[in-house]
Structure 1
Amino acid sequence: MSWPDAEEIVVFPERPRGERFRGDSPALALIILRSKNQNVVCYEARSEADTFADKLKRAISGYWMDVDPPYAAKARASGKESDRDDLSMLEHQFAYGFACKDLEESTRLPEDLPRVTKAGVSVSFVAIAKRSMELRWLVDSGLPVIIALLKPNGTDDAVPCVVERVWVQSTEPKGFFSMPTVEYVDLIGYRLDDATPVAERVQNS
C-alpha cells in the first residue's frame, strides 16, 4: 500500500483512530484509501444509543476528507478552510454509497461475538459489493466498528473481524470519459477473538 506519486505523506493508516490524518475522528467506523491520491472516504457512525433512537438509515454518514496536498492547497486558495466534502450523487450510486437496515436472521453474524455489542445494524457498501457487514460498537469504549467475515492472509476459513480500512488499488483511465479500473481491494483490520491483524485481498474479476 503506497502513494507512489505523493511528494508529502499526510495519511498514516497504522496510527490510532483520530490521529491518522487531518480531520480524523474516533467515530469513523471505516475509511477507504485509494492508490489514486491521499484523499480519504470516511464513514462516520453514531453512538449505539443515538442509532437505535432514530432511523437506522441515519446510523452512518459518508463524506470525503480531501487531505491530499494538491487538493487541500486548491481548497485554501479558493477560501475553503475545511477538508470535508460531501459525496456526489454519482459517487453514492456507483462508488462509495452505503445502506443501513435491520439485521436479518438469515444473514446476520452471531450475537455473542467477543469485544462488541450484541445489537447491530446491517450495512452494505457499494465499494465492497456482495460482502455482508454489520455496524456494532466496542463494549469497552463504545466506538463504532464494522464487522465482517474475513479470510485471514490467504486462508480459506473465514472468521469474524473488525474491518478498519479498505485499500483500493486502481489504474486510472487514459480517456476523459473512461472509468478507473480496480485491480484489487484489500480489507484490513483485526480478528475479534485475539486482535491479530488481518488482511484479505479481493481481486477484481
Structure 2
Amino acid sequence: MDEAIILATRKRLVLDGYSRMALGDIAADAGVTRPTLYRRWPGKFELVVDALDYGFKAQRDTYPSLNLDDLPATEALTEAVRRLDPAYFNPDAMVLMGNFMGETIRTPELLAIVCEHAVEPRVNLMERVLKSLQDRGEVRRDIDTRTIASMCFGSYFAAFLRNDTERAGLAEKVVAVLWPGIAAETNKT
C-alpha cells in the first residue's frame, strides 16, 4: 500500500506540481482513503520527501555495479557523466526538477532536499572521479573539478530544454568534447 501511495505521489508531482497536488487525488490514484495517507504521513510535504527518496534510491539501485576507479580514464569519466543524468531512472525527472525549481519561492525546502539528495551526490561523484583521474595522472591537476562537474550536469538540462532526443549518447558526446581539454598531456589521444 505504501508503494502505491508513493508511486501515486510521484505521478501527481509530475502532472500537478507540488502546489497544485492534492492528497485526495493521491489517495484516489493509489486506491486508498485520505485517512490512510494521514496515518502514514503527517502531511503533503513529508509524503513528497518520502516519494523523492524512493526515486533517488531506485535510481541508485539501477546503476551498473562498477568500480569507476578500475575503469580506463575515458570510460570512468563517461560513466560518471552518465550518472549525472537526472532522468537515468525516471524519464519524468526533468519535469519534477523543473517543478521544484518553480516552487523555490513558496517551498524552498523542497529544492533543498532535491539538491541534497539528488544533485549533490551526483556532482560529488563526478568530482571524485575527476580527482581520482588526477591522482592517476590521467587528468590535469589545474582543472576546476567542481565547475567541470557542474557543466556536465548542466548538459542534461540543456539537452532537455533544446528537446534533444539523442540524450542516450550524451555522456559519450560530453566526454569526447571535454577530454582533450582536461586530459594530462600524456593522455590526450
Q: Which has the larger radius of gyration?
A: 2
**Larger % of strand: which?**
1
Could you say whether these structures have the same fold, taking a TM-score greater than 0.5 normalized by the shorter chain as the test? no
Greater helix content? 2
Query: Taking structure 1 as the reference length, what is the TM-score of the superposition?
Result: 0.23
Q: TM-score, normalised by structure 2?
A: 0.24
